Chains A and B, each alone.
Chain A
Amino acid sequence: MLKQPGDASTLKVSLWRRFMNQAANVFAISASVLVIVPLVVIFVYLVIKGVGSLNWAFVTQTPKPPGELGGGMANAMVGSAVILALASLVGIPMGIGCGIYLAEYGRDRFGDLVRFTADVLNGVPSIVIGIAVYSLIVLRQKHFSALSGGIALAIMMIPTVARATEEMLLMVPNNIREAALGLGIPKWRTTLSISLRTASAGVITGCMLAFARVAGETAPLLFTAFGNQYWNMNLNQPTAALPLQIYTYALSPYDDWHRQAWAGALILIVMIVAAVAAVRISTSRGALKGAS
């Protein structure tokens, strides 16, 4: 009978503990739901509002003057493609080069310094990069240009690509390098055709993620590419870009422009999600995992 009070108290404690356990479960589940809900809502809105506004004119025409119905974002899509191509052309080779240095040579002070600056660069607000590129290129040339926009985005791509490349190269077993060097293959050849090639799946993943990240960037383009209502194929002229156009249209007072902003956003997001999903699928199947 002496046990009785003790039993009651343990029961009480365990009830409390059980309650806490349940409460934690409920909290974690509701947190997950609360995080996923905005995602779903955003996608639903994008699809509903975006699909309704997509039409042939939207993808083939340039913007109409303010207040007039119709027109499209064809020039912005092409402009975005040009700027992103420029950014990839500059940013990806530099990022991969930097990543190779960090993985293959950078086991010293300078390597740590570069690693740290790459992380710093990754954290620099995109608008600040916009200011810097504005002072470097736009102020000197005295006009906005696609070129400056591409360089701003390239600077943002470098750290992501570099760290992904480094990480993937470090995962390549050293035996493979030694085997190649033992066959008398020079170091540069070993790095490029053996190490980098073995790590290529992961490196491509990193590049795609960097691309997806800058594809929607607006802030650094505000004072570099600037935007344009007309067709422009000259790299030295202000150029329209999809995110810029969405921004301008969203803040405009016209319903028709709001409609087009949704359509533009849908196109942008489909492009980015396709890139991310492709990365996700290829990494879950590929031999080298870890860069997601």
Chain B
Amino acid sequence: MADSVDPMNSPDPVEQKQNPMTAIPALAQAATARKPSVVSSVLQRIRHTQPRSSRLPDAAFKGLILLTAASVFAIVVFVVWELVDKSRLSLHQFGIGFFYGHDWDPVNDQYGALPFIFGTLVSSFLALLLAVPLSIGVAVYVTEMCPVRWRSIISFLVELLAAIPSVVYGLWAIFVLAPLLRDYVEPFLARTLGWTGLFTGPIYGIGMLAAGIILAIMIVPIIASITREVLTAVPQNQREAVLALGATRWEMIRMGVLRNARIGIVGGIILGLGRALGETMAVTMVIGNRPEVSKSLFAPGYTMASVIANEFSEATGDLYLSALVEIGLALFLVTLIVNALARLLVWSITGSTGRARA
């Protein structure tokens, strides 16, 4: 009597009938897919009814999904194509000299991108110089030192820093940071470090230094969050092993954690660099927008992204527009290389998804 089914306890009888009916043909199909000779006529009939109802939708679904995936690839190809196509005029006219010519003269149709390349590089490296120690400090503090309770609060605050839009940073930099620099920081730097030649000349507040600082604030969350992930990925035994040898906490962090994570941290730094190179709005608002190459960090400058932002919609003349697009193309290629490098380094530490799963 054990086999008899109690009608009260049995689940939905219809469903019970349905399940074996649908499960068997699927199994049978799998088992006999390549051996049609042994299939009985009944099984054959079932086999043809079930999959036929789902084969077409399945194929359609896969096609649709494949299409969206392919379109992502197509978008990138299309972006590159448009950039190359639209900059062809300037590429032919100036060749490689475009990148070391320092005259930017729309009136006489003379274009050289050196001041912009210089501005982009100097502001980005200045930002890295300021942001790297801070980000590593925050990441080390969050993962190794701070009370567990604060951990998520500090990470959340650092994350918030990444959520502030570029234009709001720019607004703040114009009305708060630049006056602060002009009235206090830059006079002080000129007095104490003026002899280096990096801090001389008229003080405006806006300029390369302001751009570097605002960029640093913007890339700290990127470098800090990657560093935090990489540090979390360092196995706990490493820490315990070093501590067991009698190391202080700092020695443990230096030898057991940072040394193991250094490739990933470098990856994070390069990722931050990629962001700094392409950052547009905040920099445009405070860098001063003057295409000149100056040793002093007080002097106004111009970056590749900001010249596009400022002049693209007003560019008259095909060559002018083409020169601006060529700057965009250069910016794209540089960030592409920088990001690919960073991804490879980060992936080598945290695995292919690039994110720690903590």
Residues in chain A within 8 A of chain B (CB atoms): 17-18, 20-21, 23-25, 27-32, 34-36, 38-39, 41-42, 45-46, 49, 93-94, 97-98, 100-102, 104-106, 110-111, 113-114, 116-132, 134-136, 155, 158-159, 162-163, 166-167, 170-171, 181-184, 186-189, 191, 212-213, 215-219, 222-223, 226, 243, 246-247, 250-251, 258, 261-262, 265, 268-269, 272-273, 276, 280, 284, 290, 292
Can you give 26 A-B contacts (C-beta < 8 A)? A21-B251, A24-B249, A35-B161, A42-B168, A46-B172, A93-B68, A94-B68, A97-B64, A102-B69, A105-B62, A105-B65, A114-B70, A120-B340, A121-B76, A124-B79, A128-B328, A131-B83, A132-B83, A182-B23, A182-B26, A186-B57, A216-B165, A222-B309, A246-B171, A272-B164, A284-B152
Binds A, one of B195-203, B261-269, B273-281: B273-281
Number of B positions contacting A (CB below 8 A)? 100
A45 to B189, CA, bound (A): 26
A187 and B65 contact, CB distance less than 8 A: no
A126 and B171 contact, CB distance less than 8 A: no
**Interface check B184, CB cutoff 8 A:** no
B278 and A127 contact, CB distance less than 8 A: yes
A42 to B61, CA, bound (A): 47
Of chain B, the residue at the smallest CB distance from A34 is B134
Closest chain-A Cβ to B253's Cβ sits at a distance in Å of 7
A125 and B277 contact, CB distance less than 8 A: yes
A105 to B66, CA, bound (A): 9
A127 to B144, CA, bound (A): 38
A118 and B72 contact, CB distance less than 8 A: yes
A273 to B157, CA, bound (A): 11
Contact partners of A217 in chain B: CB under 8 A: 165-166
Closest chain-B Cβ to A287's Cβ sits at a distance in Å of 14
B79 and A191 contact, CB distance less than 8 A: no
A89 to B85, CA, bound (A): 29
B157 and A36 contact, CB distance less than 8 A: yes
Contact partners of A23 in chain B: CB under 8 A: 250
A39 and B64 contact, CB distance less than 8 A: no
A132 and B82 contact, CB distance less than 8 A: yes
1/0 per residue, CB under 8 A from A, across B65-89: the answer is 1111111110110110011011000
Closest chain-B Cβ to A249's Cβ sits at a distance in Å of 9
A49 to B135, CA, bound (A): 29
Of chain A, the residue at the smallest CB distance from B51 is A186
Contact partners of A218 in chain B: CB under 8 A: 165-167, 280-281
A97 to B313, CA, bound (A): 34
Binds A, one of B90-98, B233-241, B329-337: B329-337
Of chain A, the residue at the smallest CB distance from B325 is A131
Contact partners of A116 in chain B: CB under 8 A: 340
Residues in chain B within 8 A of chain A (CB atoms): 19, 22-23, 25-26, 50, 53-54, 57-58, 60-62, 64-73, 75-76, 78-79, 82-83, 85-86, 133-138, 140-142, 144-146, 152, 154, 156-161, 163-172, 174-176, 217, 220, 224, 248-251, 253, 274, 277-281, 285, 305, 308-309, 312-313, 324-325, 328, 331-332, 335-336, 338-340, 343, 353-355, 357-358
Q: A127-B278, A132-B78, A167-B355 are in contact. Are A42 and B69 (CB under 8 A)?
A: no
Which one, B54, B82, B145, contacts A131 given CB within 8 A? B82
Closest chain-A Cβ to B326's Cβ sits at a distance in Å of 11
A258 to B332, CA, bound (A): 33
B71 and A35 contact, CB distance less than 8 A: no
Q: A31-B138, A218-B166 are in contact. Are A39 and B161 (CB under 8 A)?
A: yes
Of chain B, the residue at the smallest CB distance from A20 is B250
Contact partners of A212 in chain B: CB under 8 A: 163
A190 to B134, CA, bound (A): 46
Of chain A, the residue at the smallest CB distance from B73 is A117
Which one, B50, B168, B277, B336, contacts A246 given CB within 8 A? B168
Q: A114-B72, A183-B22 are in contact. Are A119 and B339 (CB under 8 A)?
A: yes
Closest chain-A Cβ to B271's Cβ sits at a distance in Å of 8
Contact partners of A189 in chain B: CB under 8 A: 54, 57
A127 to B50, CA, bound (A): 51
Of chain B, the residue at the smallest CB distance from A112 is B352
A18 to B248, CA, bound (A): 7
A136 and B82 contact, CB distance less than 8 A: yes
Contact partners of A31 in chain B: CB under 8 A: 133-138, 141
A5 to B60, CA, bound (A): 82
A125 and B280 contact, CB distance less than 8 A: yes
Known: A46-B168, A131-B82, A132-B78. 9 other contacts (CB 8 A): A17-B250, A17-B251, A98-B68, A121-B72, A122-B339, A126-B280, A186-B54, A216-B166, A269-B168
A247 to B69, CA, bound (A): 35
